[in-house]
Amino acid sequence: MMKTVRFSAKVCLVLVTGFLFVLEGFALDVDQNLPSYSKTSGVSGSMKSIGSDTLNNLMTYWSEGFRSRYPGVKVEIEGKGSSTAPPALIQSTSQFGPMSREMKSKEVDAFEKKFGYKPARVRVAVDALAVFVHKDNPIKSLSLKQLDAIFSKNRKGGYPKVIKTWGDAGVTGEWANKPISLYGRNSASGTYGYFKDVALFKGDYKDTVKEQPGSSAVVQGVATDKYGIGYSGVGYKTADVRIVPLSVETGDTGYDANSTNAYSGDYPLARFLYVYLNKQPNSTLDPLRAEFIKFVLSQEGQTIVIKDGFYPVSNFIATQDKAALGIR
Read off the pTM: 0.84
Domains along the chain? 2-16+26-127+273-324 (3.40.190.10), 128-270 (3.40.190.10)
Span 175-205, pLDDT tens digits = 999 999 999 999 999 999 999 999 999 999 9
pLDDT of residue 153: 96
Q: Kindly report the length of the chain.
A: 328
pLDDT of residue 171: 96
Below-50 pLDDT ranges, the chain: 1-26
The closest of 82, 183, 192, 206 to 132, measured between CA atoms, is 183
Instruction: Give the whole-angstrom CA distance, residue 328 versus residue 164.
Output: 53
pLDDT of residue 29: 87
The closest of 301, 296, 315, 282 to 96, measured between CA atoms, is 296
The closest of 27, 37, 5 to 318, measured between CA atoms, is 37
Please give the backbone phi and psi of residue 318, each rounded to the nearest 5 degrees, phi first.
-60, -45
Please give the backbone phi and psi of residue 185, each rounded to the nearest 5 degrees, phi first.
-90, 170
Span 70-118, pLDDT tens digits = 999 999 999 999 999 999 999 999 999 999 999 999 999 999 999 999 9
Per the CB < 8 A criterion, the answer to whether 218 and 265 are in contact is no
